[in-house]
Chains A and B, each alone.
Chain A
Amino acid sequence: MFEALSTSVLQHYWWIIVSILAAGFVFLTFVQGGQTMIGQIAKNDSERSMLINSLGRRWDLTFTTLVTFGGAFFASFPLFYSTSFGGAYWVWILILFSFIIQAVSYEYRTKEGNFLGTKTFDIFLVLNGVLSTVLIGAAVGTFFTGSNFVIDRNLITESQAVSQWTTGTHGLEAIWATYNGYPSFIVNLSLGLAVLFLSRVLGGMYFMFSIDSKEIKQRVTKALKKCSVMFLVFFLLFVGLILTKQGFAVDPDTKIVSLEKFKYLHNLLQMPIVLIIFLVGVVLVLFGIFKGAFKGDDKAFWWTGAGSLLAVLALFLLAGFNNTSYYPSVADLQSSLTIENSSSSRFTLVTMGYVSLAVPFVVAYIWYAWRALTRKKIDKEDIENDSMSY
């Protein structure tokens, strides 16, 4: 069936898959957001333990989604993988580092003999929560503002890197970069902070959803109000900026990349389906916030979660579709990556197309197992009686 599709359709198909994984990841960063709220919400060890255990059964899902996102990006758009990871080295290394320290923290934090002490592991969780969300958000911000690299495929025979990053700070410049006087860093940072606060909103809602405690719920709803305001400020700033800024357009015939005013606004208007996905996403996020922060609804998590999935999906489609460069280079516009010039071969896209058919099946068993474990909310006794607790 995939053989019948044109290469261009396959590239679009794979961009959708990558975008869905990215959207899934952002939704699942409720774990990271939750980690940054533990100190603020818990007033004693038993509450702290409930919060950590509710996240502790979920953290590896977020982690796995990130790893799969990386793998899928590698398989479908290898030139992005080599250019971005090898070039924006420090950003990705810091992100990875924050996940390394997260992966052991739940399991080790209260175990006897853990060498570094409970405090250290709890700090690790906060570090992961802040670093990973802000940096991944900022890294995705560069999809709209551009990075500094030059690509020359002939260098492979000269023992030199095909993708050369042109700044010594290797990616960290995303948080202070400007381009022709335009403050790109504000776009990058506003998305980074929007992701951080969205993850906190979702984290708080997840606590309400999964924990049976009036005290916790009360404090969460209070925190939710503040986080929601912060999220909205940064999110609206980001959306306002990208819809009014110039974007990186690709000429479909000559493949030449050039700057186009209001490119992302044009994309949104020229792709009504993306516009609808985006608007529905935003409305659901807001509806969830209203339900959670103001009505105290335990199920707000699902509204805002589904909304953020759709909104992120729309942002990725905005960056990659409609003859747009999704990973532009401001050092050399013609080195910019598009879903066409950075993709795998047709054969690999077709092969991986068949692999992608497994995704709904995977989602189904995750859903089933998730429900099996959360049929009942977590309470005090639950944690105390379970020898497997963190």
Chain B
Amino acid sequence: MSEHLLTALVDWSRAQFALTAMYHWIFVPLTLGLSFIIAFMHTLYVRSGEEKWKETTKFWMKLFAVNFAIGVATGIILEFEFGTNWSNYSWFVGDIFGAPLAIEGIFAFFMESTFVAVMLFGWGRVNKKFHLWSTWLTAIGTNLSAIWILVANAWMQDPAGTVFNPETARNEMVSFASVVLSETAVNKFLHTITQAYLLGSFFVIGVASWYILKNRHILFAKRSILVASVFGLFASIMVAVTGDGSAYNVAKKQPMKLAAMEGLYNGGENVGLIAIGIAKKGDDAVGIKLPGILSFFATRDFNGYVPGINDLLYGDPDHDIPSTQDRMFSGKIAVDAFKNYKIAFDAGDTVAAAEYKQLLEDNYHNFGYAYFEDVEETVPPVALTFYSFHLMVMLGGYFIFIFAVILFLSLKDKFANKKLLLKLSVLNIFLAYLASQLGWIVAEVGRQPWTIQDILPVQAATSGLQASSVQITFFMFAAIFTALLIAELGIMFKMIKKGPNLNNEEA
């Protein structure tokens, strides 16, 4: 395939993946977060037996159902897209990557789909206890599925527990525990899941604040806000803690991503973290810096060394950082050794085969660099990664503050009088969604051009398709997902406008 056609295919495949993943991620965090909030409320109902908690639970359940359906709809394509659009990827690492996807299906999806039906239709049909169990199992099921898909994603960023087998020409799993319990996987899961709790909490608080502003369902709204702000404050603090853990881990496993996140070209010791600033093309980002903080985040030492993009491209012998040129050279040695191994193996020359195998193993950590012609190809889009990261972090800090304020005022029963804060709470829903998407942009744009860190770049990972085919499916998905999103929002707004079905309580 010519260079030009391949680029178009890779670009459209990436565009389609980005489109479908980002659409899916509009709905998933609300499912993850709201499912637990509903479980808390349902528990309060079963414990107290009070009708008001039943109606509160039911109201949020209805919104949950609308969101859940579109989450499922946008999710199915993501699983199969690895095969349809990234078939080389699926073959090359399917031995590892397929496992978490299968486990997700067996352990999580069946749990979700079985118990969500009982949760929604169980009212009056099943006994109260089993019904409550079902609500909890739905929440646990949704969160279990998040574990497995995030394990899969983390493995792409940090391919642990794996060796390359030249006989089968693919990567094979050697340690399941290393795949599942890698630091990257654990951090990624905790960061993502707590962020979803945060978003779910903002959603509940925002909708309830709107009722207060309209002077409707005041008691219902206050009840909902109290539950959500406790959960939200806890979640927002956890997001910060796990975010720090993620950054530390990225520094170790994906230094190029960290450099892009900070717009750092020329690294060094005692590097400052940019609090607010501007990314520059080819040079360090400028702005207000917190001295030594980046070094601390990356190495747990204020004087620690953090490499910049230039250090990674051109090498820094003082800190044992090879240049990208060297890695490309080493990668080509690995590829040649792989080819020669096959020739020797087929010819029955076991001595030569063993030598080539050793050479391949010694250079395999640079295997993916063989695909590049120019060192610059290994740099992700810096500006997009930089701004996404900084905006996300700023929002994260603001979230902790605002949850603390809301919880404090709610406990004193003063929140309902604060008009401005109520309006802000409605806006916060949008900000939470924004921060959530920004996080994935940092994670996924920041790791370009790799589908598997250092092993397989995007251009070697696609299916053998015409770019025009992928272009057509891109627009198919764009059109249907947009139409379904409009439908979802339309239904949600109508439901919220209608409000909960409260019989003898406040109007």
Question: In the complex, what distance in Å separates the CA atom of A104 from the CA atom of B485?
Answer: 10
Within 8 Å by CB of B94, from A78, A93, A347, lies A78
- Check B121 against A68 for contact (C-beta < 8 Å): no
Cβ distance A302 to chain B, nearest Cβ, rounded Å: 19
- Check A79 against B91 for contact (C-beta < 8 Å): yes
- Check A347 against B491 for contact (C-beta < 8 Å): no
- Check A386 against B121 for contact (C-beta < 8 Å): yes
What 1/0 mask marks residues of chain A from 202 to 228 whose CB sits below 8 Å from any chain B CB? 000000000000000000000000000
Segment touching A, from B72-80, B222-230, B289-297, B411-419: B72-80
Within 8 Å by CB of B371, from A57, A102, A159, A386, lies A159
Residue A97 is within 8 A (CB to CB) of chain B in the complex? yes
Q: Which of A346-390 contact B (CB under 8 A)?
A: 347-348, 351-352, 355-356, 358-359, 362, 365-366, 369-370, 372-373, 375-376, 386-388
- Check A67 against B105 for contact (C-beta < 8 Å): yes
Q: Known contacts A74-B101, A86-B90, A100-B480; decide if A348 and B76 are in contact (CB<8 Å).
A: no
- Check B463 against A348 for contact (C-beta < 8 Å): no
Residue A119 is within 8 A (CB to CB) of chain B in the complex? no
Q: Known contacts A103-B73, A345-B173; decide if A81 and B490 are in contact (CB<8 Å).
A: no
Please name all residues of chain B whose beta carbon is closer than 8 Å to the beta carbon of A362 when the two chains form the complex.
106-107, 110-111
What 1/0 mask marks residues of chain B from 67 to 101 whose CB sits below 8 Å from any chain A CB? 01110111111011011111111111011111101
Residue A114 is within 8 A (CB to CB) of chain B in the complex? yes
Q: Which residue of A lies closest to B119 (CB)?
A: A388
Segment touching A, from B202-210, B334-342, B378-386, B426-434: B334-342
Q: Known contacts A113-B491, A114-B487, A373-B125; decide if A78 and B73 are in contact (CB<8 Å).
A: no
Segment touching A, from B58-66, B235-243, B264-272: B58-66
Residue B143 is within 8 A (CB to CB) of chain A in the complex? no
Residue A1 is within 8 A (CB to CB) of chain B in the complex? no
What 1/0 mask marks residues of chain B from 104 to 141 whose CB sits below 8 Å from any chain A CB? 11110111111111101111111000100010000000
Q: Which residue of A lies closest to B109 (CB)?
A: A64
Residue A241 is within 8 A (CB to CB) of chain B in the complex? no
Segment touching B, from A161-169, A283-291, A309-317: A161-169
Residue B459 is within 8 A (CB to CB) of chain A in the complex? yes
Question: In the complex, what distance in Å separates the CA atom of A113 from the CA atom of B487?
Answer: 7
Within 8 Å by CB of B83, from A75, A86, A165, A347, lies A86
Residue B176 is within 8 A (CB to CB) of chain A in the complex? yes
What 1/0 mask marks residues of chain B from 471 to 503 whose CB sits below 8 Å from any chain A CB? 001001000100110111011111100100100
Cβ distance B118 to chain A, nearest Cβ, rounded Å: 5
Question: In the complex, what distance in Å separates the CA atom of A203 from the CA atom of B276?
Answer: 60
Residue A101 is within 8 A (CB to CB) of chain B in the complex? yes
- Check B491 against A114 for contact (C-beta < 8 Å): yes
Please name all residues of chain A whose beta carbon is closer than 8 Å to the beta carbon of B110 when the two chains form the complex.
61, 64, 68, 362, 366
- Check B115 against A358 for contact (C-beta < 8 Å): no
Q: Known contacts A60-B116, A72-B105, A156-B169; decide if A372 and B125 are in contact (CB<8 Å).
A: yes
Residue A85 is within 8 A (CB to CB) of chain B in the complex? yes
- Check B109 against A162 for contact (C-beta < 8 Å): no
- Check B88 against A345 for contact (C-beta < 8 Å): no
- Check A97 against B476 for contact (C-beta < 8 Å): yes
- Check B465 against A86 for contact (C-beta < 8 Å): yes
Cβ distance B126 to chain A, nearest Cβ, rounded Å: 5
Please name all residues of chain B whose beta carbon is closer than 8 Å to the beta carbon of A160 when the two chains form the complex.
1, 464
Within 8 Å by CB of B58, from A159, A373, A387, lies A387
Q: Which of A80-111 contact B (CB under 8 A)?
A: 81-87, 89-90, 92-93, 96-97, 99-104, 106-108, 111
Q: Which residue of A lies closest to B498 (CB)?
A: A112
- Check A103 against B70 for contact (C-beta < 8 Å): yes
Question: In the complex, what distance in Å separates the CA atom of A143 from the CA atom of B23?
Answer: 34
Residue B321 is within 8 A (CB to CB) of chain A in the complex? no
Question: In the complex, what distance in Å separates the CA atom of A362 from the CA atom of B462?
Answer: 35
Question: In the complex, what distance in Å separates the CA atom of A79 from the CA atom of B98?
Answer: 11
Please name all residues of chain A whose beta carbon is closer than 8 Å to the beta carbon of B174 when the two chains form the complex.
347
Question: In the complex, what distance in Å separates the CA atom of A148 from the CA atom of B169?
Answer: 22
Q: Which residue of A lies closest to B6 (CB)?
A: A159
- Check B460 against A156 for contact (C-beta < 8 Å): yes
How many A residues have CB within 8 A of the partner chain? 81
Cβ distance B13 to chain A, nearest Cβ, rounded Å: 11
Please name all residues of chain B whose beta carbon is closer than 8 Å to the beta carbon of A104 when the two chains form the complex.
69-70, 73, 484, 487-488
Q: Which residue of B lies closest to A108 (CB)?
A: B487
Residue A70 is within 8 A (CB to CB) of chain B in the complex? yes
Q: Which residue of B lies closest to A60 (CB)?
A: B113
- Check A161 against B92 for contact (C-beta < 8 Å): no
Please name all residues of chain A whose beta carbon is closer than 8 Å to the beta carbon of B170 when the two chains form the complex.
78, 153
- Check B130 against A372 for contact (C-beta < 8 Å): yes
Cβ distance A388 to chain B, nearest Cβ, rounded Å: 5
Please name all residues of chain B whose beta carbon is closer than 8 Å to the beta carbon of A159 when the two chains form the complex.
1, 6, 371, 459-460
Q: Which residue of A lies closest to B92 (CB)?
A: A156
- Check B115 against A369 for contact (C-beta < 8 Å): yes
- Check A85 against B101 for contact (C-beta < 8 Å): no
- Check B490 against A85 for contact (C-beta < 8 Å): no
Residue B445 is within 8 A (CB to CB) of chain A in the complex? no
Within 8 Å by CB of A68, from B88, B105, B116, B122, lies B105
Q: Which residue of A lies closest to B473 (CB)?
A: A93
- Check A388 against B62 for contact (C-beta < 8 Å): yes
Please name all residues of chain B whose beta carbon is closer than 8 Å to the beta carbon of A254 when the two chains form the complex.
none
Please name all residues of chain A whose beta carbon is closer than 8 Å to the beta carbon of B88 when the two chains form the complex.
82, 86, 156, 161-162
- Check B493 against A82 for contact (C-beta < 8 Å): no
- Check B486 against A74 for contact (C-beta < 8 Å): no
Residue B15 is within 8 A (CB to CB) of chain A in the complex? no
Q: Known contacts A75-B102, A81-B83, A113-B491; decide if A61 and B76 are in contact (CB<8 Å).
A: no
Q: Known contacts A71-B98, A74-B90, A157-B339; decide if A112 and B494 are in contact (CB<8 Å).
A: yes
Q: Known contacts A84-B83, A159-B6; decide if A113 and B125 are in contact (CB<8 Å).
A: no
Interface centre among B80, B89, B111, B501 (most CB of A within 10 A): B80
- Check A71 against B73 for contact (C-beta < 8 Å): no
Within 8 Å by CB of A153, from B102, B134, B169, lies B169
Interface centre among A69, A76, A78, A160 (most CB of B within 10 A): A78
Cβ distance B339 to chain A, nearest Cβ, rounded Å: 7
- Check B464 against A86 for contact (C-beta < 8 Å): yes
Please name all residues of chain A whose beta carbon is closer than 8 Å to the beta carbon of B96 when the two chains form the complex.
348
Residue B48 is within 8 A (CB to CB) of chain A in the complex? no
Q: Which residue of A lies closest to B335 (CB)?
A: A157
- Check A348 against B91 for contact (C-beta < 8 Å): no
Interface centre among B79, B82, B95, B168 (most CB of A within 10 A): B95
Question: In the complex, what distance in Å separates the CA atom of A350 from the CA atom of B490?
Answer: 48
- Check A85 against B87 for contact (C-beta < 8 Å): yes
Q: Which of B269-288 contact A (CB under 8 A)?
A: none
- Check B464 against A163 for contact (C-beta < 8 Å): yes
- Check A352 against B80 for contact (C-beta < 8 Å): no
Residue B103 is within 8 A (CB to CB) of chain A in the complex? yes
Residue B469 is within 8 A (CB to CB) of chain A in the complex? yes
- Check A103 against B462 for contact (C-beta < 8 Å): no
Question: In the complex, what distance in Å separates the CA atom of A338 from the CA atom of B94?
Answer: 17
- Check A57 against B6 for contact (C-beta < 8 Å): no
What 1/0 mask marks residues of chain A from 157 to 200 whose CB sits below 8 Å from any chain B CB? 10111111100101000000000000000000000000000000
Interface centre among A163, A164, A170, A347 (most CB of B within 10 A): A347
Cβ distance A52 to chain B, nearest Cβ, rounded Å: 13
Pairs across A and B, CB under 8 Å, 27 listed = A60-B117, A63-B76, A64-B113, A71-B102, A72-B105, A78-B91, A85-B82, A86-B84, A86-B86, A92-B84, A99-B76, A101-B73, A103-B70, A104-B70, A108-B491, A113-B494, A114-B490, A114-B491, A156-B169, A157-B338, A159-B460, A168-B466, A345-B168, A348-B173, A365-B111, A366-B114, A388-B65
Given A75-B94, A75-B103, A81-B83, 18 new contacts (CB under 8 A): A57-B117, A58-B117, A60-B72, A64-B110, A71-B98, A74-B102, A76-B102, A78-B91, A104-B69, A108-B69, A115-B486, A157-B338, A161-B87, A161-B464, A165-B464, A365-B111, A372-B122, A373-B126
Closest 10 CB pairs of A and B: A78-B94, A86-B87, A85-B83, A161-B464, A68-B105, A86-B463, A113-B490, A75-B98, A103-B73, A74-B98
